[in-house]
Chain A
Amino acid sequence: DIVMTQSPDSLAVSLGERATINCKSSQSVLYSSNNKNYLVWYQQKLGQSPKVLIYWASTRESGVPDRFNGSGSGTDFTLTISSLQAEDVAVYYCQQYYTTPRTFGQGTKVEIK
């Protein structure tokens, strides 16, 4: 199974500042035949179901603010919130869809400092 490891487990960022979340996979999720990284980012706010933010590691879902950016390739990925807003307080998860079983990172809790 592919193990997904996020860091940090939690972070507190001031409003308007940058938040950076890392996600590392135990093996590459880059599919060589199409050069796509099979990595998605979800946001889960308290008491709500998760919502997709970024897929193919760097493609923003329709309607997601452009302050959310995904980057990385192979085994190392990053979700960046360029200017943290109050409504971004949530837990963020990465997940690989390269193979089954699908696996999630343990989550990163983002709070306001």
Chain B
Amino acid sequence: QMQLVESGGGVVQPGRSLSLSCAASGFTFSSYGMHWVRQAPGKGLEWVAVIWYDGSNRNYADSVKGRFTISRDNSKKTLHLQMNSLRVEDTAVYYCAKDVRFGSGTYWIDYWGQGTLVTVSS
């Protein structure tokens, strides 16, 4: 069955970097767009970034643009999120999520991982 397993979360100081990964299985990873969505403790969902199935198109939330980079390795069925210049307000559970749309473009998320917690604190 479909599985998305995030890793790389932890505690990091403000201004430092952290890299998240998401290992996908149970579906043809290379055919679907992928998202990162985050949720601060006790707060709502915030969309972070999306990447098309082939990596040709990427979009970001204004709050992370210029600091975060989404990427994918289709040969390894892995999604990445490189987070630089981290801020206290980036503290959240980060979810890796699969888009429902096959091929070009993206629609809604049809499957979510369990999330990995990133804490930015001095």
Contact = CB atoms under 8 A, between A and B. Distances in A.
A104 B47 contact: yes
B60 A40 contact: no
B109 interface: yes
A79 to B, nearest CB: 14
A49 B114 contact: yes
Q: What is the interface of chain B mostly: helix, strand, loop, or mixed? A: strand
B47 A103 contact: yes
Interface size bracket, A side: 20 to 34
B108 A101 contact: no
Interface size bracket, B side: 20 to 34
A2 to B, nearest CB: 11
Contacts of B115: 49
Given A49-B112, A49-B115, A55-B108, A104 B46 contact: yes
Interface of A: 1, 38, 40, 42, 44, 49-52, 55, 61, 91, 93, 95, 97, 100-107
Interface of B: 35, 44-47, 50, 59-62, 95, 100, 106-110, 112-115
